[in-house]
Amino acid sequence: MDYILGGQLLVLFFALLWFFISNNFFKKNKILDNKLLIILFLTTVSFYWGLRPFDVGTDTGNYYNAFISIDVSKPIHYYLSSLKGDYLFYIVLYVCRKYLDFSWFLTFCSFITSLGFYLLYKNFNLGKKIENHLLAPVFIFLYFSLFSYTSIYCNIIRNGCALPYSLLFVLKLFNKEYKLSFIYMIVSLSFHMSSIILILIALGLFFVKISVPSCFIIYLSCVTFSILGYGLGSIPLISNLSNARLAGYLGDNDIGYTTGFRLDFTLYNFFFLLLAYILSDKKDKGFKFFFKLYVLTSSFFVLCYSLIYSDRFGIYSWFLIPIVLLFSINNFPLRKKFLISVLFLFVFWGINIIIFI
């Protein structure tokens, strides 16, 4: 069986197990704390992807080459001095190279990503404690029903290590827990600098008032520019940068990656944008903040269509979808909220399997 599909079926198995257990308790007017189930799920996911064959994931070979090229006879500060970012990730790489093997390195990276999602689970908050116990597992399973879930575990693993901590930064920023938000920001950026996209947009929304209609105008403008063939690569300030990391996205597309306007990605993002907006309570502060964040990160993503590997920027909008969807139904009665969120989960999983696997 295909390893990627196996990873998706693993999610389906645990999601169904959670649903039957929780539904039986809920019928008896009891709420089960699913913490142990989520820990088991995330641990299983971590070992599944950490112990994967080395040919699973396009970038796995590149990480292996980086792993074996490290000269562990030299001290770590010598190694880090030659880098220009992602220091925390490369510390993990160096330590695993010195004391362990490549499989353990992949496993540690998987656990770092899973730990971030567990912290998101623990910080899930829609208000009442009873609702958090019931719906927090949906929050996690929605993340793992995204088609890009497999990519952050087996391909773009630096982004995967950074992503949940950038989401934690946003949650803590929104709740005005500034010290924790700062810590998560540093952790996220230390794993991969691309998380600066989500961080800067969130900071902009937090300090600058902008209306939902204005965000829509920005989004539609970006879609129009992309249709006309303009994107980030068309901006002289960006296209003239000599940064080696950016060169890989702006250079010749000799790998056949689809660039230019992407109707599939646009419809995907717009579908969840429209669904959340229709269902939502427009006065809910949480919904408004995260919805605007989703629209603006989607706008940035649209401008990235002209770049190679644009989907690596798309994750910073895609992984906001579970938050936006659950905030959009926050004003519903608990029973209806539970059933709708479960419907979200299985429809979401089905859409991603059918379209992208």
**Phi, psi values for residue 173, rounded to 5°:** -65, -45
pLDDT-derived band at 355, boundaries 50, 70, 90 = low
pLDDT band, residue 143 (cuts 50/70/90) = very high
- What pLDDT is attached to residue 41? 97
Q: How far apart are CA 94 and CA 82, in angstroms?
A: 13
The Cα 240–Cα 168 span in angstroms is 33
Model confidence pLDDT, tens digit, residues 162-199? 999 999 999 999 999 999 999 999 999 999 999 999 99
CB 206 within 8 A of CB 171: no
Give yes or no for residue 336 having a pLDDT over 50.
yes
Instruction: Specify the pTM.
Output: 0.90
For the segment 207-218, what is each residue's pLDDT rounded down to a tens digit? 998 999 999 999
The whole-chain average pLDDT of the chain stands at: 86
Mean pLDDT to the nearest integer, 293-297:
97
**Hey, which of 134-143, 219-228, 231-240, 253-262 has the most confident mean pLDDT?**
219-228
**Residue 30 or 237, more confident:** 30
The torsion defined by the Cα of 37, 42, 43 and 49, in degrees rounded to 10, comes to 150
Burial class (CB in 10 A: 0-12, 13-18, 19+), 253: middle
More confident residue, 318 or 132: 318
- The C-alpha atoms of residue 167 and residue 175 are separated, in whole angstroms, by 13
CB atoms within 10 A of CB 81: 8
DSSP, res 177: -
Average pLDDT over residues 143-149: 89
- Residue whose structure tokens are 């006065």: 283
Tell me the angle at which helices 102-122 and 87-99 cross, rounded to the nearest 10 degrees. Answer: 140
Q: What is the pLDDT of residue 240?
A: 47
pLDDT the model gives residue 309: 81
**Predicted confidence band of residue 73 (pLDDT cuts 50, 70, 90):** confident
